[in-house]
Copies of this chain bind each other. A is one copy, B any other.
Amino acid sequence: MSVNLSAPVAADLLAINGVRIGVTEAGVRKANRKDLTVFLLDEGASVAGVFTQNRFCAAPVQICRDHLAAGTGIRAMVINTGNANAGTGTAGLANARATCAALAKELDLSAGQILPFSTGVIMEELPVDRIVAGMPKAIAAAKADNWATAAEGIMTTDTLPKAFSRSVSIGGKTVSITGISKGAGMIRPNMATMLGFLATDAAIAPELLQPLVKELADGSFNRVTIDGDTSTNDSFVLIATHKAGNAQITALSSAEGEQLKAALLEVAQKLAQAIVRDGEGATKFISVKVEGGKNEDECRLVAYSIAHSPLVKTAFFASDPNLGRILAAVGYAGIADLDQTKIDLYLDDVHVVVDGGRNPSYKEEDGQRVMKQQEIVVRVVLGRGDAAQTVWTCDLSHEYVTINADYRS
């Protein structure tokens, strides 16, 4: 199941000059699966990333942070599925380091120039030998027009690969952007989701990459939730190869900086929303917009309270306008001085609640009509100020329970 999402067409995805990708079957957990992906970056590329806030973060996340902080110039990334290398203690860290060392040796680089990523089951030992054995084949397969295969290579419980491209003209030069993402459950990113990779050939001052990736994550991956479970492995990485020939962007607030940011954000949002559209068991795509808050934080609090409520999510699954459940979620979101008599609720264009009570002109059949749609906008007006925030989520279906009860078997 997925909601208005289709697999990318390989020919629609733009190659990014300076990035080559190879994918192979390494047998990490199951046979006959593309489960090992390597990214090879030309010298001079800039890389920045944001990672999970989960305190039980996986070993590869810790290594990524170290290698990015060291600033030795990232030249390759290695991604395995089937095993998250999380909850694996000091042995897990050693395994992640061994993976980097092995790829560095193959590529004549230092281990600190490699970023490792893992996704899959937690608390199992990473099979480093099988990963290392697969590396030569993945490197040999590397090519620039390989993004569609890479999107497949990083899938776990995803039903569809997720990849988007766009180009934008900056200072008369065409800049290309391509990104891939994966994830369908354990999705409530707190910084970024496991996994998103976004690359551009734009020339941009390297020191701008870290604030830019943070801003992109906040506007995309940090606004989606499927089940409220923040993964141990969330990682979102931005690569700039600087090869588009545009005059180097030196400020995000410049006209060219804003142009690039808008184009990157569009792709990042599509990638983040694709994760929700392919959410485990999802049958509906729901945008929760909270307006009229005192600040963005409280808007987000209310939006997530609605988006995480199992009762709200099952009501969407059932197409049942049992909208009191939304009011209950607004009420327990944690705003201590919330005045319920100022709250309005809309379902798309249908005005359901006025001043905290049922709108006298609201008719059940109007709510029913909207609830049956595959795409629904829930809009809550708090009547406290001018701030607003949007969060994207999906419904909670039988299929979610089935998938997660069966995941390891």
Contacts and interface: CB of A to CB of B under 8 A. Distances in A.
A400 to B, nearest CB: 7
B231 A328 contact: yes
Contacts of A322: 121-122, 407-408
Contacts of A308: 228
Contact of A92 (B123, B357, B406): B357
Interface stretch (A22-30, A53-61, A237-245, A252-260): A53-61
Interface in A316-349: 317-318, 320, 322-325, 327-333, 335-336, 338, 340-341, 343
A20 B232 CA distance: 55
Given A331-B57, A396-B401, A405-B314, A324 B356 contact: no
Given A55-B335, A56-B331, A310-B404, A89 B229 contact: no
Interface string A370-409: 0000000000000000000000000011101110111111
A308 B398 CA distance: 18
A84 B230 CA distance: 33
Contacts of A88: 357-358
B228 A186 contact: no
Contacts of A53: 332
Contacts of A397: 401
A315 interface: yes
A329 B328 CA distance: 24
B401 A314 contact: yes
A309 B400 CA distance: 13
Contacts of A396: 310, 401
A232 B328 contact: yes
B328 A404 contact: no
A343 B89 CA distance: 10
Interface in A9-63: 53-57
A91 interface: yes
Nearest to A405: B318
A311 B86 contact: no
Contacts of A353: 87, 123
Copies of this polypeptide in the complex: 2
A310 B229 contact: yes
A90 interface: yes
Nearest to A403: B314
B56 A86 contact: no
A31 B38 CA distance: 65
A90 B308 CA distance: 29
B358 A324 contact: no
Nearest to A86: B324
A188 B331 CA distance: 13
A355 interface: yes
Contacts of A320: 405, 407-409
Interface in A64-94: 84, 86-92
A125 interface: yes
11 contacts: A55-B332, A55-B333, A87-B324, A87-B357, A87-B358, A227-B309, A229-B332, A310-B400, A317-B405, A398-B401, A398-B402
Report, nearest first, the 3 A-B pairs whose CB atoms are least far apart: A89-B357, A122-B324, A56-B331
